[in-house]
Amino acid sequence: MLTTQLPGFKDPVHDAQKTFRALLDALARPGIQQTTASLTPPEGLKPSCAAACLTLLDLETTVWLQPSISGSARSWLLFHTGCRFTADSQTADFAVIDQIEIMPRLDEFNWGTAAYPEASTSLLIQLPALEGTGSAVLQGPGILDTIALQTPLRTPFWQQWQAMTENYPLGLDAWCFADRQVLGLPRTAQLAGRQEGQ
Amino acid sequence: MTLSPQLPSSPALPEPGFNFAYLDEQTKRSIRRAALKAVAIPGHQIPFSSREMPMSYGWGTGGVQVTASVIGQMDTLKVIDQGADDTTNAVNIRRFFRKVCGINTTERTEEATLIQTRHRIPETPLREGQIMVYQVPMPEPLYFIEPSRTEANKMHALEEYGPVYVRLYEDITRFGHIAMAYDYPVMVNDRYLMKPSPIPRFDNPKLHMNPALQLFGAGREKRIYALPPYTKVKSLDFEDHPFTVETWDQPCEFCGATDTYLDEVVTDDQGSRLWICSDTDYCNQRQQNNHLLTPTLS
């Protein structure tokens, strides 16, 4: 059956570079929003998340998609990156999540090993917006003193995150995406204190 | 030595026949994934598939590959070799990136968005948004104790860093002080032991809580590691032998600076020598400013 795919980056070289710098800056400065290159994403992917996928994924990467993500997003990723898909979240290099409420627990992903903590899964979390009512105060490398976040990530997520950071250097690194914005959450970002959001 | 003229820095069209920044996109992606992991685990070495570059190992192939994966059209690149903008390695790498990227280059630290360095950190304080790329010959601080990479990884996993302190202690028993002058080991974020590349001990304090992102690339050893901005970096020492940096009895011969890292220059065969700033950009700017100040001072 012949299917047509939406195009990827308009300028594959420079758009990928621009998106990489946004992802790099996001991880180097947790809690500070960065802007990726723009593109027309397939149904089910935010523009910034789609840009990150084109920047990071290729034949060498294994990807876990949350089952709620549409088939068109899946075939778009396959067409543009040639990545491999897995149904086992433990074996994924990258995991794309679009419904935070029903995502697997953080410890169901790969946290790496003591000698090779870099063998862990990176989470690409799509949110309706980066601003929300869930509060968290983060500290760690990349953060001068502390930084306060107001995101849709809520208490259950931050409880799991805190439990995860106690296992450093094992753990997950995450990026949160909404529209063309990205927010980085490296495993070094620890909760300094948390207020209940409503 | 006199004031070196500013090199032309206007962008040119990249050389046809190369991808932007020389590396192919597949290679860039793999290096970028390694760099992102490196930032997430400060001080931990990430293996990467280092490529053959059009220069030999030891000439900064690791740094060049990191720079090529990070650099974009909007970047302004500065390259230094032992602090100098006008030495062979620095000139060649700067010209290489002008050729394959057509980007702006500069000698001024404050104008640069991306600084590739061999063995120095500029005297001018770095700022947020700048990226430093270090050329690293040997990334593994445990190599002289444990040549096996697998075993060294286990030692890092177990934080088994005692033998490094023994090495420093042996210096104290032999010389009365820690005699390591460059590539002085540091502890990153209270977790990973890291080699800061062969920068002089003088530059170690600049690693700590630096506002710039610092990336380290070792081409032959195929490792990338990183220090995110505002990361705790502590030079190893003992309570009764605290870490110290080098000091000099005389100021820089050219600019009179007393707070910079000085190079010794032998001027004849009679044993005469003078001491000058190793950071040529900083020294030149000070000389220009001193020159402007002279009329009002005299």
Structure confidence by residue, pLDDT tens digits, A113-152: 999 999 999 999 999 999 999 999 999 999 999 999 999 9
Same domain, B137 and B258: no
Task: Confirm whether B101 is a catalytic residue.
Answer: no
* CB within 8 Å of B129: residues ≥ 6 apart: B113, B212
Tens-digit pLDDT profile for residues B17-70: 899 999 999 999 999 999 999 999 999 999 999 999 999 888 999 999 999 999
**B3 in a domain, yes or no?**
no
Put simply, the answer to whether B32 touches A20 (Cβ < 8 Å) is: yes
Tokens 């030891």, residue located:
B58
Inform me whether the C-beta atom of residue B154 falls under 8 Å from chain A C-beta atoms. yes
Same domain, B39 and B186: yes
pLDDT at B242 over 50: yes
Inform me whether the C-beta atom of residue B251 falls under 8 Å from chain A C-beta atoms. no
Q: How far apart are alpha carbons B216 and B224 in whole angstroms? A: 6
Instruction: Look at residue A197 in the predicted model and tell me its pLDDT.
Output: 44
Show the tokens assigned to B181: 């002058």
Number of domains forming the structure of chain B = 2
Contact B25, A16 (CB under 8 A): yes
ipTM over 0.90: yes
Tens-digit pLDDT profile for residues B175-197: 999 999 999 999 999 999 999 99
Same domain, B211 and B263: no
Nearest-by-Cβ selection for B229 from A12, A61, A142: A142
Domain boundaries, chain A: 12-186
Instruction: Please report which confidence band the pLDDT of residue B254 belongs to, taking 50, 70 and 90 as the band edges.
Output: very high
CATH architecture of A12-186: 3-Layer(aba) Sandwich (3.40)
Same domain, B132 and B59: yes
Tens-digit pLDDT profile for residues B70-81: 999 999 999 999
Show the tokens assigned to B279: 């950071």
**B159 in a domain, yes or no?**
no
Instruction: Look at residue B15 in the predicted model and tell me its pLDDT.
Output: 86
Cβ-Cβ contacts under 8 Å, B35 against chain A = 24
Catalytic residue from among B43, B60, B63, B83: B43
Mean pLDDT of A161-182: 97
Instruction: Look at residue A3 in the predicted model and tell me its pLDDT.
Output: 63
Nearest-by-Cβ selection for B213 from A17, A28, A168: A28
Same domain, B190 and B280: no
Inform me whether the C-beta atom of residue B3 falls under 8 Å from chain A C-beta atoms. no
Average pLDDT of chain A, as a whole number? 94
Task: Enumerate helices (H) and strands (E) in chain A, giving the number of each.
Answer: 4, 10
**B110 in a domain, yes or no?**
yes
**B20 in a domain, yes or no?**
no
Instruction: Look at residue A76 in the predicted model and tell me its pLDDT.
Output: 96
Q: What is the CATH number of the domain that holds B186?
A: 3.40.50.11310
Instruction: Please report which confidence band the pLDDT of residue B14 belongs to, taking 50, 70 and 90 as the band edges.
Output: confident
Q: How many residues does chain B have?
A: 298
Same domain, B40 and B87: yes
Same domain, B79 and B209: yes
Put simply, the answer to whether A28 touches B20 (Cβ < 8 Å) is: no
Average pLDDT of chain B, as a whole number? 93
Instruction: Look at residue B3 in the predicted model and tell me its pLDDT.
Output: 46
Cβ-Cβ contacts under 8 Å, B227 against chain A = 141
Q: How far apart are alpha carbons B120 and B82 in whole angstroms? A: 5
Instruction: Look at residue B192 in the predicted model and tell me its pLDDT.
Output: 98
Instruction: Look at residue B157 in the predicted model and tell me its pLDDT.
Output: 97
Range of the domain at B260: 247-292
